[in-house]
Amino acid sequence: LTYNNDAKVYTDEAMTKELATENYTVNRNPGDGKTFTITFTQSYLDTITVETKLYVKYSATLNKNAVVGLPGNSNNSTLKYG
């Protein structure tokens, strides 16, 4: 898979209300084997509550390394907080 450089963060499940981009950055080359990382600003983190929900949307394109059939193409995500 090739990441399409289009990650965005939304505040609603329908993904129609985009979080203002001044509240986060997308690192498209973290250099740690990951395709991208999202880092939220401390000022935004100070405003969230236990009820806050965030949704991340991104896309990828099958490339020449794509696997046809099983087991398919891995697409994993990791969440770190605290």
Alpha carbons within 13 angstroms on the beta-carbon side of residue 47 total 8
Whether the CB-CB separation of 34 and 40 falls below 8 Å is answered with: no
The pTM assigned to this predicted structure is 0.82
Whether the CB-CB separation of 5 and 28 falls below 8 Å is answered with: yes
Residue 79's pLDDT is 77
pLDDT digits (tens, 9 = 90+) for 2-54: 889 999 999 999 999 999 999 999 998 887 777 899 999 999 999 999 999 99
